[in-house]
């Protein structure tokens, strides 16, 4: 059984609600939660599954709408190794980079690392485009020049063209990215890490959310720099 919903409270309801999965799940069932959610909640699901002789895996993904459509997602899996091996063919139908990360919650912690890195990448692309425009460069020519070098990234290749077209359609919603970054901030604070870049990018997205942009794609961060001119 695979679940993939929006927010941690949705996951909580799906699994632990009055009519949720744990109210009726059969022994021996494999539960795969692919929502990006709290690592603590993934441990809670794992423990509840263990009590019922059920297998639980946390398996968040990365790759956006393009990866989902093409079946090329990166899938980060936490839980028992034996359960991961048993479900590998299911993951292979959706992704090409399928990695066992470790015990329960390790998939979620890896996704948090992904979302932290994403913040630097997408803000870097937006800042490069904003700088190019401000100093009078042709933005597309600038991208053609730097995207094949050390500055190149998935975000530059896939998101920058959308930004230049004014395409804010969501491959990944701002509201969901804000949720992810807030989880990452909470987890980092618990291990005494002050992640300044993460907090800065979260603040920028929260300002866009206040402007009613929560249902736009993450590439809409470029609007922040337009507002700041």
Residues with catalytic function = 111
184: Cα separation from own chain's centroid:
11
Q: Which residues pair with 210 in a beta bridge?
A: none
Give the integer Cα–Cα distance in Å for 16 and 194: 33
In this structure, what token pair is assigned to residue 64?
């956006």
**What SS3 string covers 20-85?**
CHHHCCCCCCEEEECCCCCHHHHHHHHHHHHHCCCEEEECCEECHHHHHHHCCEEEEEECCHHHHH
Give the integer Cα–Cα distance in Å for 169 and 79: 34
Half-sphere exposure (CA, 13 Å, Cβ side) for 111?
33
Strands (E) in the chain, as ranges, are 2-3, 30-33, 55-58, 61-62, 73-78, 95-102
Helix (H) or strand (E) holding 221: none
Give the integer Cα–Cα distance in Å for 141 and 129: 11
């Amino acid at each position: 059984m695979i679940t993939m919903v929006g927010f941690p409270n949705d996951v909580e309801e799906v699994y632990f609600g009055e009519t949720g999965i744990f109210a009726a799940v059969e022994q021996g069932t494999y539960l795969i939660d692919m929502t990006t959610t709290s690592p603590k909640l993934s441990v809670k699901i794992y423990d509840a599954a263990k009590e019922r002789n059920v297998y639980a895996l946390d398996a968040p993904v990365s790759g956006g709408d393009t990866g989902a459509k093409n079946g090329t997602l990166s899938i980060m899996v936490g839980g028992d190794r034996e359960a991961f091996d048993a479900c590998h063919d299911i993951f292979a139908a959706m992704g090409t980079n399928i990695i066992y990360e470790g015990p329960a919650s390790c998939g979620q912690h890896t996704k948090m690392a992904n979302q932290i890195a994403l913040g630097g990448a997408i803000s870097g692309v937006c800042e490069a485009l904003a700088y190019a425009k401000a100093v009078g460069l042709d933005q597309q020519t600038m991208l053609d020049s730097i995207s094949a070098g050390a500055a190149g990234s998935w975000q530059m290749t896939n998101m920058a063209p959308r930004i230049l077209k004014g395409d804010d359609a969501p491959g990944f919603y701002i509201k969901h990215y804000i949720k992810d970054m807030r989880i990452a901030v909470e987890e980092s604070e618990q291990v005494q890490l002050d992640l300044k870049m993460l907090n800065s990018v979260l603040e920028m997205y929260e300002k866009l959310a206040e402007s009613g942009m929560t249902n736009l794609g993450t590439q809409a961060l470029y609007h922040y720099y337009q507002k700041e001119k």
